[in-house]
Structure 1
Amino acid sequence: MVAPGSIAVLGGGISGLSAALHLLRRFNSPLTLIEGSHRYGGWIDSHTETILGSPVILEGGPRTLRPSSALLELLVLTNALHLARPMAARSPAMRSRFVHFHGTDGLTALPSKALGALFSPFGRTAIRGTLKDLFTRRTPAKNSDSDESIESFLTRRVQEPDLVNMVSAVVHGIYAADARVLSARVFMGPAYEYGSPVQYVFAPPSTKAKFRPPPEKYPLIDGALVPKTPFSIRGGTGSLTSALHDTISRETRFRGVLRTHVTAIQRRADGIELTLRGEDGTVTRRTFSHVVSALPMPTLQAVLPPRLQAQPVLNQTPYTNVTVVNLVFPRQRTPLHPQGFGYLIPRPASGYTDNTGAGVLGVIFDSCVAPQEADDRVVRMTAMVGGPYYPHLPEPDLSTLLATIGRQLGRREPLPAPLFARAVQAHRCIPTPTVGHLARVKSLKEALQREFQAKLEIVGAAVTGVSVGDCIAGARKAGESWKLPKNEHPKP
């Protein structure tokens, strides 16, 4: 017989770990976290390497967090985990951003202030596009299913091709995807529903979503502390997932299982039965009263009952392949790159068949983004390669990559030989929410609710958004409606 109120969480990435924490705090029920790989954390992968006798933190996945409403969720989470001063000091250089245009050598600085935009060719383009959108009648979404690509939406609104193409660079940095297929409703959110990205800024407060404090008694951090620029987690982003796992592991009601794959999910009279396959091939079956799945859509499709596998979102959500290359150089008398966050690269005019840029989507200047994670004798950069350029996992040649980055930086001299280089290949790591994605997610949720009597819920990047904050926000809401014994004494 199934234990009353037993919970299973499938997937041990940031979404699964966050869901486990909130469920343990909310309910007085045993919880099992099932992860197929050898480690928790998912794509978040902070690695410490000793270089020149000192530790250097390198990120194989997300390393910065964007300011947004979901960021408040992260602040709540870090406070609940008792992470002291989780946000690293932000260098003023992080306000400086650059773009590299195909067919050119060197970087173009993006204006960081309104006055600077007047003296920048791209800034003047942005001003023209802003004014066109501001004085064009807004076109609100007709209904909750209305959608189009972000490129189509902005082409209608700002009417500036160069500005629209710049959005492809932003999409590269967040989704490693093609802006021509990315959902405007997902990317723009309420601004798309309002019908104008610029006019939404001046919309009445009643039309804008607000942060909803969690029902648990968490000590909230004042929203005024939310940074205005991207920031990093002290000790690497992996310190967040490590703290999550350490915290939930101290709960006697928690059990974590690694190297175990879910191969089937079935509804039974006494609960939800999971078929599990261990690393040694052993197959077991366990039944839980409630389940939260943080599995990627293709993985979830393979384990659901056949009658649910035809749900469109399960087979119509593409995932990108990305290789992250960490580079550590000896510091030179002449700076290797300008002070700033890094640079992104818009889509080539001829499309992704043009691979003269070696498939580089962008480069982050880690020494500026997180200067506290290494001493000043080294310079760190990270290149993101792949996405729409490659249908498979890219395997960049180091010498070609260094030559490409040097040209993109506009250097007269080649980059020096790195002290350390590491390539992290992430297979199908970021979902691309294409046009109509949210409607398809809604359809799947409704089907799961009917099939499993509202006792199986889904979270994760393809459900709530790809940013770390979005994943945390979605995970907190998991199981809010479940009728289970409450935890009357959650740990502060």
Structure 2
Amino acid sequence: MHIAILGAGITGLTLARTLSLGLVGRGGGPIRISVLEGQGRVGGWVQTQRKSVAGEDAVFEQGPRTLRPSGPAGLRTLRLLGDLGLAEDVVQVGKGAPAARKRYLYVQGRLLRLPASILDTVKASASGPLKGLVGSVLREPFIPGRPRDLEDESVQDFFARRFPGADGIQLAASAMMHGIYAGDYRKLSVRSCLPSLWEAEGRSGSLVRGMLLSGSKATTEEDEARHALKIHYPQLMEMAETSAIYSLRQGLSGITDALNQVAIQSPIVTMRPSSPVTKVILDESKAKVMDADWVVSTLPGPSIASCMKGSPGNPIPYTTPYASVAVVNMAFSQRVLPLDPAFGYLVPVREGGDALGVVFDSDALPSQDGARQGGLNRLTVMMGGWKFKQIFGEKPHPDDVLKKARRVLKEQMGIVKEPMAHHVSIQCQCIPQYEVGWWDGMRQVDEWLRSSTGAQGRMAVCGAGWGGVSVNDCVQGAEKVGHALLDHLKGKTFSGASPTLPLTGLERFRK
């Protein structure tokens, strides 16, 4: 039995670890795992640069920078960190820290602090961009629920329907979609991007009432994850209860580096960097990728579609669009921010401009400044997203990107000082856009993966393009697919033609 994993990002590496732990020494015939990665490095969009700044090793993150220690997925990731021996490297931001409580929107040419308490919300609702916020929330339970035949809608339309005339909620929603998806909330699907809100309204006909009814009740899955973490890594469980966000002292690449070492040391896993997959042929007996029996792809839908040209059967019926992001990390020798410590700010769609948002890295994670804590000021400017080509064209030069980032800092915060160090990265097609219709598209792909006229039961998928863009989502998705495969392989001996895959990775879309 040979399993090929396409992609060595956080998803592919976690899947390889999960399978290796369950299969080494199992008996029942040899099983091999090959992990194919097109780049010369592993980690995917988890990319940490450690830059020497004034003699210190400062952390520049070009991809995700912080994780949330909450929910089943967040607790799974913490358990993984414990298993990898990374618990001592965790640096946290407490729930009461400025970086947890102070976040801003850039609105009407100034930075507007978002409410962090009920009292703050009441005050903000009295005047300014968030005027009328409290009244809109109080009226929401009396607005009719969604039509029965409405299967999806945009984030903008959802909030307009539930909170008519609430301009402040629209501002916050569009900014949030910039921060998470680098996407346009007028196109993104509320059912897919904010499923808990969609489900809350579905339960009771009201978003507010549905959220109040669900309260803070944990699911069985979350209870199990919490119990396991508390038993094995009580210090991480304690951290989860007191933290808003966290990272690693040397950056999140520490996770993918550790997972890569686990894979390299496994007797049944072969890592193949610099091995781009250009063709995948699936038939009823084999997956012609490294002569594998099964393929689990963490690649985006468009990549799968390109690789499978010429494969028997119908083409993949839906591919998710992606957005590109320009990420500019900067470090200054002294504090340049015109604000007290905070996490950063996001820019709503209607403000226009180049920026999606700016993160105040030194405020959020000062321990990543090296020995010069308090002496450096690290910032990250994120630009482009759904409007990347409009801003930068096809192939922007890093110098031009840096100029635009510095212009953002000057125009939005009055920062004109030249950074001591900087790093520009163009993350092409990095964030999937779950647009209206995406949920139904995943349902179609699920059917295609199982169909004798599609992937013929030889391929499963997982990763950001298939259900959740966060690191936590990717870890959880990989572990679930891995454990499902292990359950299927338990006690079985394979000879001759291998059986079809018992799963697609998209089962939840059948509901």
- Output the TM-score relative to the length of structure 1: 0.85
Contact 2:52 2:58 in 1 (8 A): yes
Structure 2 distance, partners of 1:207, 1:113, is: 21
The equivalent residue for 2:15 is 19
The equivalent residue for 2:105 is 99
The equivalent residue for 1:131 is 138
- Identity, % of aligned pairs? 29
Deviations 1:429-478 (A, max 9, x none): 00101112122112212211234554421011111111111111111111
Q: Give the secondary-structure state (helix, strand or coil) at the position aligned to 1:155.
A: helix
In structure 2, stretches of 5+ residues that fail to align are 25-30, 493-511
Structure 1 distance, partners of 2:220, 2:439, is: 20
Q: In the superposition, relative to structure 1, how do residues 133 and 264 fare at CA in structure 2: closer, same or farther (>3 Å)?
A: same
Q: In the superposition, relative to structure 1, how do residues 114 and 397 fare at CA in structure 2: closer, same or farther (>3 Å)?
A: same
The equivalent residue for 1:388 is 386
Deviations 1:374-424 (A, max 9, x none): 123210000001112222465544344323213212x3xx42111011111
Structure 2 distance, partners of 1:172, 1:429, is: 14
Of the structure 1 ranges 462-471 and 396-405, higher mean CA displacement relative to structure 2 is found in: 396-405
TM-aligned CA deviation for residue 209 of structure 1: 5.1
The equivalent residue for 1:484 is 489
The equivalent residue for 1:361 is 356
TM-aligned CA deviation for residue 370 of structure 1: 1.2
Q: In the superposition, relative to structure 1, how do residues 142 and 202 fare at CA in structure 2: closer, same or farther (>3 Å)?
A: farther
Structure 2 distance, partners of 1:300, 1:221, is: 38
Contact 1:293 1:456 in 2 (8 A): yes
Q: Let me know the Cα RMSD of the aligned residues.
A: 2.6
Of the structure 1 ranges 473-482 and 418-427, higher mean CA displacement relative to structure 2 is found in: 473-482
Counterpart selection for 1:62 from 61, 64, 72? 64
Contact 2:283 2:312 in 1 (8 A): no
Amino acid at match of 1:171: M
The equivalent residue for 2:502 is none
Amino acid at match of 1:172: H
**1:405-444 equivalent positions in 2, closer than 5 A:** 405-409=409-413, 411=414, 414-444=415-445
Q: In the superposition, relative to structure 1, how do residues 400 and 385 fare at CA in structure 2: closer, same or farther (>3 Å)?
A: closer
The equivalent residue for 1:152 is 157
Structure 1 distance, partners of 2:349, 2:433, is: 16
TM-aligned CA deviation for residue 267 of structure 1: 2.7
Q: Give the secondary-structure state (helix, strand or coil) at the position aligned to 1:99.
A: strand
TM-aligned CA deviation for residue 171 of structure 1: 0.5
Structure 1 distance, partners of 2:341, 2:182, is: 24
Contact 2:131 2:168 in 1 (8 A): no
Deviations 1:39-69 (A, max 9, x none): 0001111011111111111101110123542
Of the structure 1 ranges 253-262 and 86-95, higher mean CA displacement relative to structure 2 is found in: 86-95
Contact 1:63 1:237 in 2 (8 A): yes
TM-aligned CA deviation for residue 485 of structure 1: 4.4
State yes or no: 1:261 paired with 2:276: yes
Q: In the superposition, relative to structure 1, how do residues 190 and 90 fare at CA in structure 2: closer, same or farther (>3 Å)?
A: closer
**1:201-280 equivalent positions in 2, closer than 5 A:** 201-204=211-214, 210-211=220-221, 213=224, 221=233, 225-226=239-240, 229-268=244-283, 270-274=285-289
Q: Give the secondary-structure state (helix, strand or coil) at the position aligned to 2:279.
A: strand
State yes or no: 1:313 paired with 2:318: yes
**1:341-356 equivalent positions in 2, closer than 5 A:** 341-348=343-350, 354=352
Of the structure 1 ranges 429-438 and 298-307, higher mean CA displacement relative to structure 2 is found in: 298-307
Higher relative helix content: 2
Amino acid at match of 2:427: A
TM-aligned CA deviation for residue 203 of structure 1: 2.2
State yes or no: 1:7 paired with 2:14: no
Contact 1:393 1:425 in 2 (8 A): no
Structure 1 distance, partners of 2:40, 2:285, is: 31
State yes or no: 1:291 paired with 2:286: no
Structure 2 distance, partners of 1:246, 1:221, is: 21
Q: Give the secondary-structure state (helix, strand or coil) at the position aligned to 1:265.
A: coil
In structure 1, stretches of 5+ residues that fail to align are 275-285, 488-492
Structure 2 distance, partners of 1:126, 1:210, is: 34
Structure 2 distance, partners of 1:129, 1:394, is: 43
TM-aligned CA deviation for residue 236 of structure 1: 0.4
Of the structure 1 ranges 5-14 and 128-137, higher mean CA displacement relative to structure 2 is found in: 128-137
Structure 2 distance, partners of 1:139, 1:49, is: 51
